[in-house]
Amino acid sequence: MTMVTASPSELNALASMNTLRDRVQRNDPDALREVAVQFEALVMNLMLKSARDAGSGEGLFDGPNTQHYLEIMDQQVSLALARQGGLGLAKMLGAGPEPAEGMTMARRTRFDGPPDARGFVEQLLPHARSAADALGVDPKLLVAQAALESGWGRATLSHSNGLPAFNLFAIKAGSDWDGDTVAQHTLEFVGGVAERRFEKFRAYPDLASGVADYVGLVKRMTGTGGAESEQLAPENFVEGLTRAGYATDPDYGNKWLAVYRGDRLHEAFADTL
């Protein structure tokens, strides 16, 4: 029988249960639902980890940076599945679905196309090329970021009815956004410590709109881009965007570059071009 050990991120999820325990003790009416969902997400995450460990070997996903990225993705997918019903533990405990409070609940679904790296690149590349020209960067780097944020299109943000939100770069709504939104629990880092939070993300009518909004956001955050701009080195672009606060994960830049330099993206581009 294979022993399953908890990773540091799973222990961090257990630590968050302490906060929920305090809410239960204060008779918070939403606490039971949250405890049930968090517990179910933890169980499913352990199941995913066990499956990955059983199938691990010398291959494409053996690097530490990629393994860390996959672990984060598993956490987010597990939590999203738990909030949609998952294994049914929350229902057994008498905790119903979480109210949307006027927001469309998001769910993570497969990108609209073949669920592999080549299919993902084929759909995104035309838009990534236009965006790369506007930002002065390698289009492959933008595809790598979208792959990191969406799990290669297998865990993209969608509306509750299953329609895609076309937000492959996981752009949060923010106070200045007046367009459509979807809501999703996500993993944020505060002081270097991962915390689960409920966030609103932007939703777009199509992929071109989502990528165009990403370009505008990057230009506002970094002051880069334009027809006269020389192409930036990948490391400089990543450093500039992470320094501007694009993500809270302190290791975000390394994960992004690991996907950019990885064999999976390289082979997908070779098959597409």
| Residue 2 within a domain | no
* Same domain as 200, residue 142: yes
| Residue 119 within a domain | yes
| Residue 97 within a domain | no
- Each residue of 129-155: pLDDT tens digit? 999 999 999 999 999 999 999 999 988
* Same domain as 118, residue 55: no
CA dihedral 219, 263, 75, 11 (to 10 degrees): -110
With 90 as the cut, is the pLDDT of residue 75 above it?
no
* Same domain as 118, residue 60: no
What is the spatial distance between Cα 248 and Cα 250, in angstroms, rounded to a whole number? Answer: 6
* Same domain as 163, residue 35: no
- Each residue of 36-51: pLDDT tens digit? 666 777 777 777 777 6
H-run or E-run covering 199: strand 193-202
* Same domain as 255, residue 165: yes
- Each residue of 214-267: pLDDT tens digit? 999 999 999 876 555 578 999 999 999 999 999 999 999 999 999 999 999 999
* Same domain as 73, residue 123: no
Structure tokens at 134: 């506007």
What is the spatial distance between Cα 72 and Cα 60, in angstroms, rounded to a whole number? Answer: 17
Burial (CB < 10 A; 0-12, 13-18, 19+), residue 166, is buried
* Same domain as 51, residue 110: no
Contact call for residues 196 and 79 (beta carbons, < 8 A)? yes
Domain count, the chain: 2
Structure tokens at 220: 């506002």
pLDDT reported for residue 236: 95
Residue 134, number of CB atoms within 10 A of its CB: 19
| Residue 19 within a domain | yes
With 60 as the cut, is the pLDDT of residue 108 above it?
no
Structure tokens at 65: 């940076």
| Residue 211 within a domain | yes
Of all residues in the chain, the percent with pLDDT exceeding 70 is 60
- Give the domain CATH number at 211: 1.10.530.10
pLDDT reported for residue 155: 85
By residue range, what is the domain housing residue 12?
Answer: 8-92
- The residues annotated with a catalytic role in the active site are 188, 213
Lowest mean pLDDT, pick from 66-70, 157-161, 232-236: 66-70
pLDDT reported for residue 271: 86
